[in-house]
Every structure is written in C-alpha cells, then in structure tokens.
Structure 1
Amino acid sequence: MREIRRDDDGALLGFLRPVDGAWQPLTVFGYPLGEPGPQEEAHDEVHRSGLAVLSGPWRFLEGGQWYRCVILEAAAEEVRIHPTDHRYPHDVYALTLERPGPGTFRPE
C-alpha cells in the first residue's frame, strides 16, 4: 500500500492499494473510498474525501442489527466509535472496531 499525505503538514489522508493493475483509494483504516481505477484518480479521491468521510455518520453491525455511530479516532488497524443510535442496547461511550470492513461498518 502507498501512503497519501497532505502536502502542507504531512497529515495521513489515506492509502492507495494496487489491485489488478489499478489503484483503490482507502481511508486511514483501509476502508474503500471507491472502486479501483487509474492512480491519479485514486490519489485525487483520497485527497478529496479521505479525511472528510471520517466526520460523517457511519453505521456498525452488531448482533445482526445496524446502529448509527460517529468516528472518534481512526488508525491503521482500528476505529474507535461512539454509538449515537438510541436503539443501541449497551450503555457505553466508545467501542473499538478492529479492521472494520464494508460487511460490518459503512458510511451512512
């Protein structure tokens, strides 16, 4: 994988992963930002939405139910979330999801 960093301060924006001769844009925790395509387009997508997508609402799967949440922290191996769904049955402020993917975690 190839790191993509902001030019002015070096902040990590996300990654590019090679896929069958193309490049897939990924968040800082490896979540797909789009389909694989030309390197320049994937690079631009990471710059455009790599960090922005982290600030929006997300959903996580637990016990066969999808619950709304927000991301508190994102790192390469895990994401720390705060459940915001009133239906969520547990009284917790934060949960840590290890290597979340589209089958268990998705933007709303």
Structure 2
Amino acid sequence: MIPNHWIRHLREEDLELVGYIIPTGDGRFVPATLFGYPLAEAGDRADAESVLDAAGLSYLADTWMLRNEDEEPFQVEIVESSPDRVVVRNVDFGREDDYGARIPLDVPTDQLSRR
C-alpha cells in the first residue's frame, strides 16, 4: 500500500492521479509512478511536480523489467495499477512457458525497472 506520507499528484486538466511526490526528509522530493518507481533524482517540489506533469501516465505504456529473487529479469508490461497493487503481464518471448501470465505485485515495489 502506498505510504500515507507520499503526496498524491493529480493531472490539472482532469484531476487524474498520475503519481506521487515522495518527501525525502531533507527538504527534497522524488517524483514516482503510481507503483513507486522513481522517475527522477530528488530535487525541489516544483521539479518533482514538473516531472510528473511531463510524464503523465505515459510510463504505463513502457516495457518494464521484473526482477524476482531466483530468476533472471524478464520483460513485462503494466496491466493494472492501484494504490494497493500493480499487475504486470509477461511479454518476454524467452519465457514461453508463462508468456502472457499476469503477475500481481504489492505497491510500492522495487521489483520493476524501466527497460
């Protein structure tokens, strides 16, 4: 579940949640996706807001890499994202045995990275 101290960032036009601003405790802020992936280094709040405004929800269409403890990372795409979980789908042709499988992950997660 998204921590209570993370600041929701809404798109101005339609008030859609596009990500979170994470306070670092030292007066700086990290812009993050709906599932907690940092989109930029920590900076001032206005910079974090600008990053989220520019990205919108476009990162949901990216291909991501999923890391599990005992496996090589593999390609996934985001299928669903909520404050409780993100669901990804295996799109890695090298993993034919479970290609297309949906994998739920608790949010925030550190198992995803941008490809």
CA contact (8 A) 2:11 2:56 kept: no
Match of 2:55 among 44, 49, 56: 49
TM-score scaled by length of structure 2? 0.83
Question: Is 1:3 matched up with 2:11?
Answer: no
CA shift digits 1:23-69 (9 cap, x unpaired): 11011122111111011111000111241111110010132311001
Question: Is 1:31 matched up with 2:37?
Answer: yes
If each structure's strand is expressed as a fraction of its own residues, which one has the higher value? Answer: 1
Return the letter of the residue paired with 2:88: I
How far did 1:91 drift? 5.2
CA contact (8 A) 1:27 1:33 kept: yes
Q: Secondary structure at the match of 2:67?
A: strand
Q: Secondary structure at the match of 1:43?
A: helix
Q: Size of the alignment, in residue pairs?
A: 106
* Identical counterparts, % of pairs: 25
Return the letter of the residue paired with 2:87: R
Match of 1:90 in 2: 98
RMSD, aligned CA: 1.5
Give ranges in structure 1 of 5+ residues lacking alignment.
Answer: none
Question: Is 1:66 matched up with 2:73?
Answer: yes
